[in-house]
Amino acid sequence: MDPEECWKSLEDKILAGNIAMDMGRVRAAYEYAVKLHEGQKRRDGSPYVTHCVATAEIIAEQGLDEDSIVSALLHDVIEDTPATHDDVKRQFGATVADIVEGVTKLTRVQYTSHEEEQAENLRKMLIAMAKDIRVILIKIADRLHNMRTMDYQSGEKQLIKSAETMEIYAPIAHRLGMQKIKWELEDRSLYYLDREGYKEITDALSTRMDTLRVFMDKVEKQIQKRMDDEGIDATVYGRIKHIYSIYRKMFAQQLDINGIFDLCAFRVIVDSIPDCYNALGMIHDMYKPVPGRFKDYVSTPKPNGYQSVHTTVIGSEGIPFEVQIRTWDMHLTAEYGVAAHWKYKSGEQGVKEGDEEKFAWVRRLLEAQQETDATEFVHDLKIDMFADEVFVFTPSGDVINLPAGATPIDFAYAIHSGVGNAMVGASVNGRIVTFDHVLQNGDIVEVRTSKSAPGPSRDWLQLAKSSSARTKIKQWFKKEKREENVQRGREMFDAELRRNGLTMADVMDEDVLPHILKKLSVPSMDELYAAIGYGGQTAVRSVNRVKDELAHIKRPEKKTVLDKINEQAEKRVSRPQKAVHGILVEGLDNCLIKFSKCCTPVPGDDIVGFITRGNGVSIHRTDCQNYLRQRLSTGADGRWIEVSWADHTTDLYITTLRILAKERSGLIMDIATALNALNAKVRSLSARDVGNDQSTAAVTVEVRDLAELKVIINRLAAIRGVIEVRRASS
């Protein structure tokens, strides 16, 4: 697409929305983006600016304002071009510059792990979002277009970005009420995470499409006629449920596609709230309602502002289907979410007065990240946004919204931290329950408190489901139990050191300690112990960072005169052997090294070398079937030689795992999600049916050593339905 066609496409989208704006300023932003991104290409070969325009078009489709569209056009200029915040501010004003800065990732900072980088970028984005909601709207539009063009990325990047989209961006879109975009993000992510499951559903829908359309047309006409006869002005239409919602139902209920009957849903849009309930009565009169499937989100809206009355009924053909009844205002909110309410006028930003509660989850997450490490923050973010919700009541009738699986502990801290800290008992629907009791929709929960309560137990950190409750519990321990925290944390840290073959003396060495404190960002070891003690930091993560730092610290060697004499003598009679790809070959330097594809050895494996004819030395594991067979057939003919791993290597090594599992939908997605959670470097992932209700998957990864590989194997082995995980060997 040439520059003028690109501009015309955006202009048409803006004009279609009837949004008053200075098109000259938008054009100037477009030309500025073209100039700055000149020479940059997308993976498909198109000019990079086409991505900026596509992002701006998505923003225009949401009906947002001039600053939003200008910011969308410029959203990558600070990150990917020489432009600075001040440059953008001079050209397009402070508001646009701040939005673009908010969208920009923290790419100039070095992190020790992917979790840290992801956590810091998310934290920065949430802070910017709390100031101006347009930051996250542009970020979601940016991700949506990237998912639409994901075919051109590598297989590894497709898996990583799709898992991140499913776990982070789709839930944020849900939290903001942007259902249409959420559905597209989920469906596109599923396509890359589980292509077989995706294809199974699309193929089934394709074969049933004619039947479904006939059914939907019939039901639409029946409901529309009844509304017209009763004098209710209503718009009725049906839709096929989106692919990921069908996929989740198959996964949750362990059904194949033939076991899913309610593939259709219908919407009835009316003019007023009384009409919602009148329409509900008529639909229940026309069709048989399914018990337990009625939900009233009109009187009790979801936290993201969503309102509708939901009911599931059974038609004359015996086919169940869902009906959602809402007003036009509710429909606008359901389709576009926050964008429907935050249409900006010049100079306005932030959140409208009275709507702060819709963004309380952002505030809670930002508070939580101050008391947790990076890994836990990202984990909490995923849970808080993606978990289903339960609605429970206080004895006075107030509604409390909690994540599914919440306990009385979550309820108490949702009321107030003082209530949680003083809790000594709880009852649900008049019956005394334990603190691990899982709350259900509609429960009436009462908490008993005492001024002499000892405070929360550390076990509560495992029982609480919400990050908000866990944060408040940690804050109590941090404030009230410092000495106990220090003692407990020291013991946990010492035990973890010993598990890793280290001692306190290794850390407390005067040449080492300053480096360790800097690495852990703590002023003293007591501060670290306290953080581990109250749960703000983990001993495992701390020791891993200590090990990483110890590997890089050059300690001054304290040598005796005899040491120096011996060292000089050794230098005269020998020279250090050079490692090639982390391999030392006895008696040879700089020889060609090849790692056998039959057994893919990694550092930590017992290995042996085979001198090939013209291809250097081939490295095998000593348990490799090829090695064992050739050893038996050729005997000790001198071509098998001793090799060893170098003490330190920074190389990554490719190895393949074979996974045998019970055949089920969602297997590939679970494998991909598990690998992404470990930040594994995936080269390829495939699966096939092997009969007997079993599937086999092959995953090729890059690892540093055997220890890292074992972590991956153990994580994959824990996936539901997995029978065996083994390394490839011939």
Q: Measuring CA to CA, how many Å separate 233 from each of 312, 330, 449?
A: 22, 16, 52
Cα(652)–Cα(703) distance, integer angstroms = 5
The answer to whether the CB of 49 falls within 8 A of the CB of 33 is: yes
709 sits in which H/E element: helix 706-717
Which member of 80, 367, 527, 663 is catalytic?
80
CB count in 10 Å sphere of residue 338: 23
- Concatenate the DSSP letters of all residues of 455-523 into one string: ---TTHHHH--SHHHHHHHHHHHHHH-HHHHHHHHHHHHHHHHHHTT--HHHHH-TTTHHHHHHHHT-S
Cα(658)–Cα(656) distance, integer angstroms = 7
Phi, psi of 465 (to 5 degrees): -95, -35
CB count in 10 Å sphere of residue 133: 27
Nearest C-alpha neighbor of 358 from the set 299, 298, 303: 303
Look up 79 and say whether it is catalytic: yes
Q: Where are the beta strands (DSSP E) in 293-404?
A: 295-296, 309-314, 320-327, 389-393, 399-403
Q: What is the pairing mode between strands 264-270 and 320-327?
A: parallel
Q: Give the ranges where 104-178 is alpha helix by DSSP (H).
A: 114-131, 134-148, 155-164, 170-175
Nearest C-alpha neighbor of 580 from the set 649, 531, 522, 634: 649
Q: Measuring CA to CA, how many Å separate 691 from each of 421, 657, 660, 688?
A: 55, 20, 11, 9
Which member of 11, 31, 61, 79 is catalytic?
79
Q: What is the pairing mode between strands 617-621 and 593-595?
A: parallel
Q: Measuring CA to CA, how many Å separate 558 from each of 505, 549, 707?
A: 17, 21, 32
Side-chain half-sphere exposure of 162, counting CA atoms within 13 A = 31
Helix axes 360-369, 467-480, angle to 10 degrees: 40
Cα(309)–Cα(224) distance, integer angstroms = 17
The answer to whether the CB of 40 falls within 8 A of the CB of 80 is: yes
Nearest C-alpha neighbor of 724 from the set 661, 645, 630, 663: 661
Point out the residues that are catalytic: 79-80
